[in-house]
């Protein structure tokens, strides 16, 4: 079977329920991992997701901020909830679908100052990565595992609109890139989007609301990722090439999130 896993920072699920329904109808994801749902569990639009054919929900909500959720066409099993957020925010939710463990994260953005001594938000971001990497280092690489979400680091030179400028800006600083590399190396994660669209082609999944025309300004960042364990390599390359993409058109819809969805197809 084909398992299409998608990640999307929806920036308020109640505001984007119609867009979610359109996206599900047009692109048929089997699993939709969402970040920044900005509601508590009881406020989540469950009926809307049931109507769009995604009735199975795992929600970690928080009043006003943060919050993550997974919606699925298919029934799921429980998966370990990772205690990697030292502040206790709702930033992690996990399920196992068709034998694949999916860990969905909204990693802290980190504020504006790239110095953990001066900026507690940046220190929190680095700590989150350190805890997550330490946990993943204990995992069996053969386990079928997807780590996904708004990971809030654009790790590559071609994952930002201007590498030299952005190297001084939180999301692409050297210390963050080192943390991302450490996570990737923990069990040899596969950056499936970059397998599908190799460098030097530039990629972005986030564009600021400040730009009236995000295409014209072309100042995007690749912050949303799908990282696969080595145990999913065969499932990801069953057709000979990786089937992963950014749904950039969604960013141009009316009242959009500032993030576009990203998806991968796995042969399970």
Contacts 24+ apart (CB under 8 A), 23-30: 23/247, 23/250, 23/261, 24/52, 24/53, 24/54, 25/52, 27/247, 27/261, 27/263, 28/4, 29/4, 29/5, 29/73, 29/261, 29/263, 30/2, 30/3, 30/4, 30/5, 30/72, 30/73, 30/74, 30/97
Q: Looking at residue 212, what is its pLDDT? A: 62
pLDDT tens, residue by residue, 43-77: 999 999 999 999 999 999 998 889 999 999 999 99
Candidates 225, 215, 216; CA nearest to 154 is 225
pTM beyond cutoff 0.95: yes
Q: Looking at residue 65, what is its pLDDT? A: 87
Q: Is 76 left (phi over 0), alpha (psi -120 to 50) or beta?
A: beta
Compute mean pLDDT per 10 residues along the chain, 268 residues long, and list them: 97 97 98 98 98 98 93 97 95 98 98 97 98 98 98 98 96 98 98 98 92 74 98 97 97 95 97
Strand partners, 148: 104, 226
Q: Looking at residue 214, what is its pLDDT? A: 73
**CATH number for the domain that contains residue 205:** 3.60.10.10
Domain enclosing residue 30, as ranges:
2-267
Q: Could you give the number of structural domains in the chain?
A: 1
Q: Looking at residue 64, what is its pLDDT? A: 82
């Amino acid at each position: 079977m084909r398992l299409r896993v998608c990640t999307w920072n929806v920036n308020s699920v109640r505001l984007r329920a119609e867009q979610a329904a359109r996206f599900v109808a047009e692109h048929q994801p089997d699993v939709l991992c969402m970040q920044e749902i900005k509601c508590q569990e009881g406020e989540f639009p469950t009926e809307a997701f049931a109507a769009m054919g995604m009735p199975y929900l795992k929600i970690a909500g928080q009043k006003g901020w943060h919050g993550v959720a997974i919606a699925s066409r298919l029934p799921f099993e429980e998966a370990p909830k990772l205690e990697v957020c030292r502040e206790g925010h709702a930033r992690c939710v996990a399920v196992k679908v068709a034998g694949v463990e999916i860990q969905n994260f909204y990693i802290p953005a980190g504020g504006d100052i790239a110095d953990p001594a001066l900026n507690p938000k940046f220190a929190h971001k680095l700590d989150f990565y350190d805890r997550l990497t330490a946990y993943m280092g204990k995992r069996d690489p053969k386990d079928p595992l997807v780590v996904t979400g708004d990971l809030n680091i654009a790790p590559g030179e071609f994952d930002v609109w201007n590498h030299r400028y952005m190297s001084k800006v939180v999301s692409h600083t050297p210390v963050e890139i080192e943390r991302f590399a450490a996570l990737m190396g923990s069990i040899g994660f596969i950056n499936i989007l970059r397998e599908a669209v190799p460098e030097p082609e530039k990629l972005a999944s986030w564009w600021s609301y400040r730009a009236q025309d995000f295409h014209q300004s072309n100042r995007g960042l690749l912050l949303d990722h799908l990282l696969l364990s080595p145990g999913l390599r065969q499932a990801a390359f069953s057709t000979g090439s990786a089937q992963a993409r950014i749904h950039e058109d969604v960013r141009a819809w009316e009242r959009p999130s500032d993030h576009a969805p990203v998806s991968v197809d796995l042969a399970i």
